[in-house]
Structure 1
Amino acid sequence: MASILRASSVWVCLFLLLAAVNGQDDFDIGEERKTHLNFFFHDIVSGPNATAVAIVQSSVMNSTAGRFGLVVMVDNALTEGPNISSKLIGRAQGFYATASQGDLALLMTMNFYFIDGVYNGSTLAILGRNSAASQTREISVVGGTGYFRLAQGYAIAKTGSWNATSGDAVVEYDVYVVHKGPASASTSNPGGAPGSGQTSAGSRSTVYFPVLLLLQAAYFLCFLGH
Protein backbone atom coordinates (compact mmCIF):
# COMPACT_ATOMS: atom_id res chain seq x y z
CA MET A 1 0.00 0.00 0.00
CA ALA A 2 2.83 2.37 0.91
CA SER A 3 4.55 1.70 -2.41
CA ILE A 4 1.35 2.54 -4.28
CA LEU A 5 1.04 5.83 -2.41
CA ARG A 6 4.68 6.68 -3.12
CA ALA A 7 4.23 5.93 -6.83
CA SER A 8 1.08 8.06 -6.92
CA SER A 9 2.84 10.95 -5.22
CA VAL A 10 5.63 10.81 -7.81
CA TRP A 11 3.11 11.18 -10.63
CA VAL A 12 1.43 14.06 -8.80
CA CYS A 13 4.85 15.73 -8.40
CA LEU A 14 5.57 15.39 -12.09
CA PHE A 15 2.17 16.82 -12.99
CA LEU A 16 2.64 19.83 -10.71
CA LEU A 17 6.12 20.52 -12.03
CA LEU A 18 4.97 20.32 -15.66
CA ALA A 19 2.05 22.61 -14.89
CA ALA A 20 4.41 25.10 -13.27
CA VAL A 21 6.79 25.09 -16.24
CA ASN A 22 3.95 25.51 -18.75
CA GLY A 23 2.47 28.32 -16.69
CA GLN A 24 5.64 30.39 -17.07
CA ASP A 25 5.09 30.60 -20.85
CA ASP A 26 1.66 32.21 -20.57
CA PHE A 27 1.53 35.67 -22.18
CA ASP A 28 -0.99 37.88 -23.92
CA ILE A 29 -0.61 38.28 -27.70
CA GLY A 30 -3.75 40.32 -28.24
CA GLU A 31 -7.02 39.58 -29.97
CA GLU A 32 -7.35 38.22 -33.51
CA ARG A 33 -8.15 40.81 -36.17
CA LYS A 34 -8.70 40.94 -39.91
CA THR A 35 -7.42 44.00 -41.74
CA HIS A 36 -7.62 45.19 -45.35
CA LEU A 37 -5.22 47.91 -46.47
CA ASN A 38 -5.16 49.81 -49.76
CA PHE A 39 -2.23 52.02 -50.76
CA PHE A 40 0.14 52.90 -53.61
CA PHE A 41 3.80 51.87 -53.96
CA HIS A 42 6.07 54.31 -55.83
CA ASP A 43 9.06 52.60 -57.44
CA ILE A 44 11.31 55.50 -58.45
CA VAL A 45 14.42 54.21 -60.26
CA SER A 46 15.39 57.39 -62.14
CA GLY A 47 16.74 60.81 -61.28
CA PRO A 48 18.72 62.18 -58.33
CA ASN A 49 15.96 61.29 -55.85
CA ALA A 50 15.61 57.63 -56.82
CA THR A 51 14.25 55.42 -54.03
CA ALA A 52 15.03 52.13 -55.80
CA VAL A 53 18.72 51.59 -56.52
CA ALA A 54 20.46 48.64 -58.20
CA ILE A 55 23.11 47.17 -55.90
CA VAL A 56 23.95 43.95 -57.81
CA GLN A 57 23.97 43.28 -61.55
CA SER A 58 24.92 39.81 -62.80
CA SER A 59 27.10 39.17 -65.82
CA VAL A 60 24.16 37.52 -67.64
CA MET A 61 21.54 40.15 -66.80
CA ASN A 62 21.46 41.73 -70.26
CA SER A 63 21.47 38.40 -72.09
CA THR A 64 18.36 36.91 -70.45
CA ALA A 65 14.71 37.72 -71.07
CA GLY A 66 14.05 38.16 -67.35
CA ARG A 67 17.15 40.32 -66.70
CA PHE A 68 18.25 37.55 -64.35
CA GLY A 69 20.47 38.50 -61.40
CA LEU A 70 19.53 42.14 -60.78
CA VAL A 71 19.09 43.15 -57.12
CA VAL A 72 17.46 46.48 -56.27
CA MET A 73 17.38 47.98 -52.77
CA VAL A 74 14.30 50.10 -52.08
CA ASP A 75 13.00 52.73 -49.71
CA ASN A 76 9.84 53.45 -51.68
CA ALA A 77 7.04 55.74 -50.58
CA LEU A 78 3.64 54.25 -49.73
CA THR A 79 0.83 56.78 -50.23
CA GLU A 80 -2.94 56.93 -49.88
CA GLY A 81 -3.46 57.85 -53.53
CA PRO A 82 -1.71 57.16 -56.83
CA ASN A 83 -0.04 60.57 -56.92
CA ILE A 84 3.36 60.82 -55.22
CA SER A 85 2.19 64.05 -53.58
CA SER A 86 -0.73 62.34 -51.82
CA LYS A 87 -0.56 61.55 -48.11
CA LEU A 88 2.48 59.48 -47.11
CA ILE A 89 1.45 56.52 -44.92
CA GLY A 90 4.67 54.52 -44.89
CA ARG A 91 7.71 53.15 -46.70
CA ALA A 92 8.50 49.89 -48.49
CA GLN A 93 11.99 48.97 -47.30
CA GLY A 94 13.98 45.96 -48.47
CA PHE A 95 14.86 44.64 -51.89
CA TYR A 96 13.55 42.92 -54.98
CA ALA A 97 15.58 40.74 -57.32
CA THR A 98 15.01 39.32 -60.78
CA ALA A 99 14.84 35.58 -60.12
CA SER A 100 13.80 34.15 -63.49
CA GLN A 101 15.80 33.79 -66.68
CA GLY A 102 12.72 33.33 -68.85
CA ASP A 103 10.32 36.07 -67.75
CA LEU A 104 10.32 39.19 -65.60
CA ALA A 105 9.65 37.65 -62.18
CA LEU A 106 10.82 39.35 -59.01
CA LEU A 107 11.64 37.91 -55.62
CA MET A 108 10.10 40.44 -53.21
CA THR A 109 11.69 40.62 -49.75
CA MET A 110 10.71 43.75 -47.88
CA ASN A 111 8.82 45.35 -45.03
CA PHE A 112 5.91 47.70 -45.39
CA TYR A 113 6.67 50.15 -42.58
CA PHE A 114 3.70 52.32 -41.58
CA ILE A 115 3.94 55.79 -40.06
CA ASP A 116 0.31 56.90 -39.89
CA GLY A 117 -2.59 56.50 -37.46
CA VAL A 118 -3.07 53.33 -35.43
CA TYR A 119 -0.51 51.56 -37.64
CA ASN A 120 2.29 53.99 -36.78
CA GLY A 121 5.51 52.04 -36.14
CA SER A 122 4.04 48.71 -37.29
CA THR A 123 5.31 46.57 -40.16
CA LEU A 124 4.14 43.86 -42.54
CA ALA A 125 6.73 41.47 -43.98
CA ILE A 126 6.38 40.60 -47.68
CA LEU A 127 8.03 37.57 -49.25
CA GLY A 128 7.20 35.96 -52.57
CA ARG A 129 7.18 35.90 -56.35
CA ASN A 130 6.03 38.98 -58.22
CA SER A 131 5.35 38.36 -61.91
CA ALA A 132 5.92 41.99 -62.80
CA ALA A 133 4.67 41.67 -66.39
CA SER A 134 1.24 40.48 -65.23
CA GLN A 135 -1.43 43.05 -64.54
CA THR A 136 -2.39 41.46 -61.20
CA ARG A 137 -0.07 39.55 -58.87
CA GLU A 138 -0.42 37.86 -55.48
CA ILE A 139 2.40 37.96 -52.91
CA SER A 140 2.58 36.38 -49.46
CA VAL A 141 2.48 38.31 -46.20
CA VAL A 142 4.56 36.21 -43.83
CA GLY A 143 4.68 38.26 -40.64
CA GLY A 144 4.29 41.58 -38.92
CA THR A 145 5.04 43.66 -35.85
CA GLY A 146 3.20 46.11 -33.62
CA TYR A 147 -0.44 46.35 -34.66
CA PHE A 148 0.17 43.48 -37.12
CA ARG A 149 1.85 41.06 -34.73
CA LEU A 150 1.82 37.43 -36.01
CA ALA A 151 0.31 38.56 -39.34
CA GLN A 152 -0.44 36.11 -42.14
CA GLY A 153 -2.11 36.90 -45.43
CA TYR A 154 -1.58 38.06 -48.97
CA ALA A 155 -1.11 41.20 -51.03
CA ILE A 156 -2.66 41.84 -54.44
CA ALA A 157 -0.46 44.09 -56.59
CA LYS A 158 -1.74 45.90 -59.68
CA THR A 159 0.42 48.10 -61.88
CA GLY A 160 -1.17 51.54 -62.04
CA SER A 161 1.38 53.19 -64.30
CA TRP A 162 4.82 52.49 -65.75
CA ASN A 163 7.06 54.92 -67.60
CA ALA A 164 8.92 53.00 -70.30
CA THR A 165 11.52 55.76 -70.61
CA SER A 166 12.44 56.28 -66.95
CA GLY A 167 11.40 52.88 -65.60
CA ASP A 168 9.44 54.50 -62.77
CA ALA A 169 6.26 52.70 -61.73
CA VAL A 170 3.26 53.11 -59.45
CA VAL A 171 1.73 49.91 -58.08
CA GLU A 172 -1.56 49.67 -56.21
CA TYR A 173 -1.60 47.22 -53.29
CA ASP A 174 -4.56 45.62 -51.57
CA VAL A 175 -3.31 43.76 -48.50
CA TYR A 176 -5.43 41.28 -46.56
CA VAL A 177 -4.09 39.98 -43.23
CA VAL A 178 -5.18 38.07 -40.16
CA HIS A 179 -3.15 39.12 -37.14
CA LYS A 180 -3.05 39.59 -33.40
CA GLY A 181 -3.57 43.22 -32.53
CA PRO A 182 -4.02 45.41 -29.48
CA ALA A 183 -7.49 45.76 -28.01
CA SER A 184 -7.04 49.54 -28.11
CA ALA A 185 -4.28 50.89 -30.33
CA SER A 186 -2.15 53.94 -29.64
CA THR A 187 -1.37 56.20 -32.58
CA SER A 188 2.13 56.84 -31.26
CA ASN A 189 3.08 53.30 -30.29
CA PRO A 190 0.59 50.57 -31.23
CA GLY A 191 3.04 47.85 -30.27
CA GLY A 192 3.01 49.04 -26.68
CA ALA A 193 -0.67 49.83 -26.34
CA PRO A 194 -2.76 48.14 -23.63
CA GLY A 195 -3.67 44.63 -24.70
CA SER A 196 -1.03 44.57 -27.44
CA GLY A 197 0.78 41.60 -25.99
CA GLN A 198 3.35 43.41 -23.85
CA THR A 199 2.88 42.06 -20.34
CA SER A 200 2.83 44.62 -17.55
CA ALA A 201 4.40 44.03 -14.13
CA GLY A 202 0.96 43.43 -12.63
CA SER A 203 -0.01 40.79 -15.19
CA ARG A 204 3.38 39.07 -14.82
CA SER A 205 2.82 38.73 -11.09
CA THR A 206 -0.65 37.32 -11.81
CA VAL A 207 0.94 34.64 -13.97
CA TYR A 208 3.89 33.82 -11.71
CA PHE A 209 2.01 33.67 -8.37
CA PRO A 210 0.16 30.39 -9.14
CA VAL A 211 3.40 29.02 -10.60
CA LEU A 212 5.14 29.62 -7.26
CA LEU A 213 2.29 27.91 -5.42
CA LEU A 214 2.58 24.86 -7.69
CA LEU A 215 6.33 24.68 -7.17
CA GLN A 216 5.91 24.88 -3.39
CA ALA A 217 3.27 22.15 -3.44
CA ALA A 218 5.53 19.93 -5.53
CA TYR A 219 8.45 20.53 -3.16
CA PHE A 220 6.51 19.63 -0.01
CA LEU A 221 4.90 16.59 -1.60
CA CYS A 222 8.04 15.19 -3.22
CA PHE A 223 10.75 16.01 -0.71
CA LEU A 224 9.06 16.48 2.65
CA GLY A 225 6.31 13.94 2.22
CA HIS A 226 8.62 10.89 2.47
Structure 2
Amino acid sequence: MAPTSLLLLLLLLACAAPLPLQLRAADTPTIRLYMHDVVSGSGATAVQVIKGPASSSGNGGVSTGFGDTTVIDDALTETSSPTSREVGRAQGFYMVASQSSPALMMCINLYFTSGDNNGSTIAVMGHDDTAAAVRELSVVGGTGKFRMATGYVVWKTATMTPSDGVFELDVYVTTPNGTTIDASAPVSPLDGGGGSSGGGSSTAKSGAAAPGRMRGWVNACVVGLVVVVLLVGRGW
Protein backbone atom coordinates (compact mmCIF):
# COMPACT_ATOMS: atom_id res chain seq x y z
CA MET A 1 0.00 0.00 0.00
CA ALA A 2 1.31 3.44 -0.98
CA PRO A 3 2.26 5.75 1.91
CA THR A 4 -0.43 8.26 0.90
CA SER A 5 -3.16 5.59 0.85
CA LEU A 6 -2.02 4.30 4.23
CA LEU A 7 -2.13 7.82 5.68
CA LEU A 8 -5.66 8.35 4.30
CA LEU A 9 -6.82 5.05 5.83
CA LEU A 10 -5.42 5.98 9.24
CA LEU A 11 -7.09 9.39 9.03
CA LEU A 12 -10.47 7.85 8.22
CA LEU A 13 -10.17 5.48 11.17
CA ALA A 14 -9.24 8.34 13.50
CA CYS A 15 -12.19 10.45 12.36
CA ALA A 16 -14.77 7.70 12.68
CA ALA A 17 -17.61 8.74 14.98
CA PRO A 18 -17.04 7.52 18.54
CA LEU A 19 -19.22 4.61 19.66
CA PRO A 20 -22.00 5.54 22.11
CA LEU A 21 -21.72 4.48 25.71
CA GLN A 22 -23.34 1.16 26.48
CA LEU A 23 -26.88 1.58 27.78
CA ARG A 24 -28.24 -0.13 30.86
CA ALA A 25 -29.94 -3.47 30.47
CA ALA A 26 -33.49 -3.07 29.20
CA ASP A 27 -34.94 -4.61 32.35
CA THR A 28 -33.21 -2.20 34.74
CA PRO A 29 -35.16 1.03 35.26
CA THR A 30 -33.37 4.27 35.89
CA ILE A 31 -35.74 5.02 38.77
CA ARG A 32 -38.57 3.07 40.42
CA LEU A 33 -41.30 5.08 42.13
CA TYR A 34 -44.68 4.42 43.70
CA MET A 35 -47.47 6.95 43.17
CA HIS A 36 -50.31 7.21 45.70
CA ASP A 37 -53.51 8.62 44.17
CA VAL A 38 -56.03 9.39 46.96
CA VAL A 39 -59.42 10.34 45.50
CA SER A 40 -61.53 10.77 48.64
CA GLY A 41 -61.31 11.59 52.32
CA SER A 42 -59.66 14.42 54.21
CA GLY A 43 -56.25 13.60 52.72
CA ALA A 44 -57.36 13.49 49.08
CA THR A 45 -54.60 14.29 46.59
CA ALA A 46 -56.82 14.02 43.47
CA VAL A 47 -59.57 16.60 42.85
CA GLN A 48 -61.97 16.49 39.93
CA VAL A 49 -62.19 19.89 38.22
CA ILE A 50 -64.22 19.02 35.07
CA LYS A 51 -67.22 16.68 34.91
CA GLY A 52 -68.13 15.22 31.53
CA PRO A 53 -71.75 14.88 30.34
CA ALA A 54 -71.80 11.10 30.99
CA SER A 55 -70.19 11.16 34.41
CA SER A 56 -70.89 8.55 37.04
CA SER A 57 -69.84 8.73 40.67
CA GLY A 58 -69.03 5.11 41.42
CA ASN A 59 -65.28 5.50 41.90
CA GLY A 60 -64.83 6.90 45.38
CA GLY A 61 -65.95 10.43 44.55
CA VAL A 62 -64.06 10.78 41.26
CA SER A 63 -66.37 10.16 38.31
CA THR A 64 -65.27 8.19 35.27
CA GLY A 65 -67.23 9.57 32.32
CA PHE A 66 -65.76 10.76 29.03
CA GLY A 67 -64.26 14.22 29.54
CA ASP A 68 -63.86 13.97 33.31
CA THR A 69 -60.63 15.72 34.35
CA THR A 70 -58.81 15.36 37.66
CA VAL A 71 -55.90 17.42 39.02
CA ILE A 72 -53.41 15.55 41.21
CA ASP A 73 -50.66 16.24 43.70
CA ASP A 74 -49.82 12.62 44.57
CA ALA A 75 -47.01 11.43 46.81
CA LEU A 76 -44.12 9.53 45.22
CA THR A 77 -42.49 7.05 47.58
CA GLU A 78 -39.69 4.48 47.54
CA THR A 79 -42.00 1.49 48.15
CA SER A 80 -45.69 0.71 47.78
CA SER A 81 -46.30 1.48 51.45
CA PRO A 82 -47.83 4.94 52.00
CA THR A 83 -45.60 5.31 55.06
CA SER A 84 -42.35 4.74 53.15
CA ARG A 85 -39.99 7.65 52.47
CA GLU A 86 -41.44 10.29 50.17
CA VAL A 87 -39.07 11.28 47.36
CA GLY A 88 -41.31 13.59 45.38
CA ARG A 89 -44.75 14.49 44.06
CA ALA A 90 -46.66 13.62 40.90
CA GLN A 91 -48.29 16.91 39.90
CA GLY A 92 -50.54 17.43 36.90
CA PHE A 93 -53.83 16.02 35.64
CA TYR A 94 -55.50 13.06 34.00
CA MET A 95 -58.71 12.97 31.97
CA VAL A 96 -60.98 10.24 30.63
CA ALA A 97 -60.12 10.47 26.93
CA SER A 98 -61.96 7.44 25.54
CA GLN A 99 -65.68 6.99 24.91
CA SER A 100 -65.46 3.20 24.86
CA SER A 101 -62.90 2.17 27.51
CA PRO A 102 -61.50 3.34 30.88
CA ALA A 103 -58.51 5.00 29.22
CA LEU A 104 -56.92 8.16 30.54
CA MET A 105 -54.78 10.89 29.02
CA MET A 106 -52.00 11.49 31.57
CA CYS A 107 -50.03 14.73 31.79
CA ILE A 108 -47.87 14.94 34.93
CA ASN A 109 -44.54 16.12 36.28
CA LEU A 110 -42.58 13.78 38.52
CA TYR A 111 -41.15 16.42 40.84
CA PHE A 112 -38.36 15.26 43.16
CA THR A 113 -38.30 16.85 46.60
CA SER A 114 -35.49 14.94 48.35
CA GLY A 115 -32.28 13.02 47.71
CA ASP A 116 -29.79 13.53 44.90
CA ASN A 117 -32.55 14.47 42.43
CA ASN A 118 -34.05 17.18 44.66
CA GLY A 119 -35.53 19.97 42.53
CA SER A 120 -35.39 18.05 39.23
CA THR A 121 -38.45 17.01 37.24
CA ILE A 122 -39.41 14.40 34.65
CA ALA A 123 -42.37 15.24 32.37
CA VAL A 124 -44.62 12.29 31.51
CA MET A 125 -47.48 12.13 29.00
CA GLY A 126 -49.40 9.31 27.40
CA HIS A 127 -52.28 6.86 27.08
CA ASP A 128 -53.15 5.01 30.29
CA ASP A 129 -55.57 2.14 29.71
CA THR A 130 -56.48 1.47 33.32
CA ALA A 131 -57.89 -1.97 32.43
CA ALA A 132 -54.47 -3.19 31.23
CA ALA A 133 -52.02 -4.84 33.61
CA VAL A 134 -49.03 -2.95 32.15
CA ARG A 135 -49.05 0.40 30.35
CA GLU A 136 -46.31 2.44 28.70
CA LEU A 137 -46.21 6.23 28.84
CA SER A 138 -43.72 8.65 27.27
CA VAL A 139 -41.08 10.78 28.95
CA VAL A 140 -41.25 14.03 26.98
CA GLY A 141 -38.78 16.22 28.86
CA GLY A 142 -37.31 17.20 32.18
CA THR A 143 -35.39 19.77 34.17
CA GLY A 144 -32.33 19.78 36.41
CA LYS A 145 -30.53 16.45 36.16
CA PHE A 146 -33.11 15.32 33.62
CA ARG A 147 -33.01 18.38 31.37
CA MET A 148 -34.15 17.58 27.80
CA ALA A 149 -34.53 13.91 28.71
CA THR A 150 -36.59 11.38 26.77
CA GLY A 151 -37.66 7.84 27.53
CA TYR A 152 -40.68 5.96 28.80
CA VAL A 153 -42.45 4.81 31.96
CA VAL A 154 -43.70 1.27 32.53
CA TRP A 155 -46.86 1.89 34.55
CA LYS A 156 -48.54 -0.81 36.70
CA THR A 157 -51.41 -0.79 39.18
CA ALA A 158 -50.11 -2.15 42.48
CA THR A 159 -53.34 -1.85 44.50
CA MET A 160 -56.73 -0.25 43.89
CA THR A 161 -59.59 0.57 46.28
CA PRO A 162 -62.62 2.88 45.93
CA SER A 163 -60.73 5.60 47.79
CA ASP A 164 -57.16 5.32 46.52
CA GLY A 165 -54.78 3.63 44.12
CA VAL A 166 -51.09 2.80 44.29
CA PHE A 167 -49.14 2.65 41.03
CA GLU A 168 -45.66 1.31 40.33
CA LEU A 169 -43.65 3.51 37.94
CA ASP A 170 -40.47 2.15 36.34
CA VAL A 171 -38.89 5.19 34.69
CA TYR A 172 -36.36 4.75 31.87
CA VAL A 173 -34.70 8.10 31.06
CA THR A 174 -32.09 8.95 28.43
CA THR A 175 -30.11 12.08 27.61
CA PRO A 176 -30.20 13.72 24.16
CA ASN A 177 -26.96 11.93 23.14
CA GLY A 178 -28.46 8.52 23.88
CA THR A 179 -26.74 7.61 27.15
CA THR A 180 -28.72 6.58 30.19
CA ILE A 181 -28.98 9.11 33.00
CA ASP A 182 -28.31 7.33 36.26
CA ALA A 183 -30.46 8.43 39.17
CA SER A 184 -27.23 9.25 41.04
CA ALA A 185 -25.44 11.05 38.19
CA PRO A 186 -24.03 14.45 39.26
CA VAL A 187 -25.23 17.72 37.84
CA SER A 188 -22.95 19.33 35.27
CA PRO A 189 -20.49 21.89 36.73
CA LEU A 190 -22.09 24.39 34.33
CA ASP A 191 -25.26 24.02 36.39
CA GLY A 192 -23.48 24.78 39.65
CA GLY A 193 -23.13 21.13 40.65
CA GLY A 194 -20.30 18.63 40.47
CA GLY A 195 -18.48 16.49 42.96
CA SER A 196 -19.45 13.02 44.06
CA SER A 197 -22.99 11.79 43.60
CA GLY A 198 -23.50 10.69 47.18
CA GLY A 199 -24.91 7.21 46.93
CA GLY A 200 -25.15 4.52 44.31
CA SER A 201 -22.73 3.76 41.51
CA SER A 202 -23.25 5.54 38.21
CA THR A 203 -23.16 3.42 35.07
CA ALA A 204 -23.36 6.39 32.73
CA LYS A 205 -23.03 10.12 33.24
CA SER A 206 -25.06 12.82 31.54
CA GLY A 207 -23.89 14.16 28.19
CA ALA A 208 -23.02 17.65 29.40
CA ALA A 209 -19.39 17.31 28.24
CA ALA A 210 -20.28 15.86 24.83
CA PRO A 211 -20.14 19.18 22.88
CA GLY A 212 -16.55 19.82 24.03
CA ARG A 213 -15.45 16.31 23.03
CA MET A 214 -17.16 16.73 19.64
CA ARG A 215 -15.37 20.03 18.95
CA GLY A 216 -12.02 18.42 19.75
CA TRP A 217 -12.74 15.52 17.43
CA VAL A 218 -13.71 17.88 14.56
CA ASN A 219 -10.58 19.98 15.08
CA ALA A 220 -8.37 16.89 14.94
CA CYS A 221 -9.98 15.79 11.66
CA VAL A 222 -9.48 19.24 10.11
CA VAL A 223 -5.78 19.28 11.07
CA GLY A 224 -5.36 15.76 9.67
CA LEU A 225 -6.94 16.70 6.35
CA VAL A 226 -4.66 19.73 6.03
CA VAL A 227 -1.62 17.50 6.62
CA VAL A 228 -2.77 15.02 3.96
CA VAL A 229 -3.32 17.81 1.40
CA LEU A 230 0.16 19.21 2.04
CA LEU A 231 1.81 15.79 1.78
CA VAL A 232 -0.05 14.86 -1.40
CA GLY A 233 0.81 18.23 -2.94
CA ARG A 234 4.51 17.55 -2.26
CA GLY A 235 4.23 14.12 -3.90
CA TRP A 236 4.85 12.09 -0.70
Q: TM-score range by the shorter chain?
A: 0.5 to 0.7
Matched residue, 1:158? 156
Q: For residues 89-141 of structure 1, what are the alpha-carbon distances to aligned partners after superposition, in whole Å with 9 as ceiling and x for unaligned?
A: 00000000000010000000010001222211000000110001111100000
Shift of the alpha carbon at 1:60?
2.2
Pick closer, same or farther for the CA change 1:191–1:131 going to 2, 3 Å: farther
Q: Distance in 2 between matches of 1:130 and 1:144?
A: 20
Q: Which amino acid aligns with 2:174?
A: V
Flag the structure with more relative contact order, 1 or 2, with Cα contacts below 8 A and sequence separation at least 6: 1
Contact 1:119-1:190 within 8 A present in 2 as well: no
1:54 Cα shift?
0.3
Q: Does 1:43 pair with 2:44?
A: no
Query: What's the TM-score once normalised by structure 1's chain length?
Result: 0.64
Structure 1: gaps of 5 or more residues:
1-30, 199-226
Which SS does the other structure have where 2:104 is aligned? strand
Partner of 1:172: 168
Pair member with larger Rg: 1
How far 1:197 sits from its partner (Å)? 9.2
Distance 1:175 1:140, change over 3 A: same
Aligned to 1:118, which of 105, 116, 119? 116
* SS at structure 2 position matched to 1:118: helix
Q: Superposition RMSD on alpha carbons, in Å?
A: 3.2
Provide the identity percentage. Answer: 43
Alignment of 1:23-172 (within 5 A): 36-62=30-56, 67-163=65-161, 165-166=162-163, 168-172=164-168
Alpha-carbon spacing, 1:98–1:190, altered in 2? closer, same or farther (3 Å)? farther
Where do 5+ consecutive residues of structure 2 fail to align? 1-20, 58-63, 196-205, 209-236
Would you say the 8 A contact 1:118–1:190 is kept in 2? no
Structure with more strand by fraction: 1
- Counterpart of 1:79, as a letter, is T
Report the number of matched residues.
165
User: If each structure's helix is expressed as a fraction of its own residues, which one has the higher value?
Assistant: 1
Contact 1:147 1:185 (8 Å CA) reproduced: yes
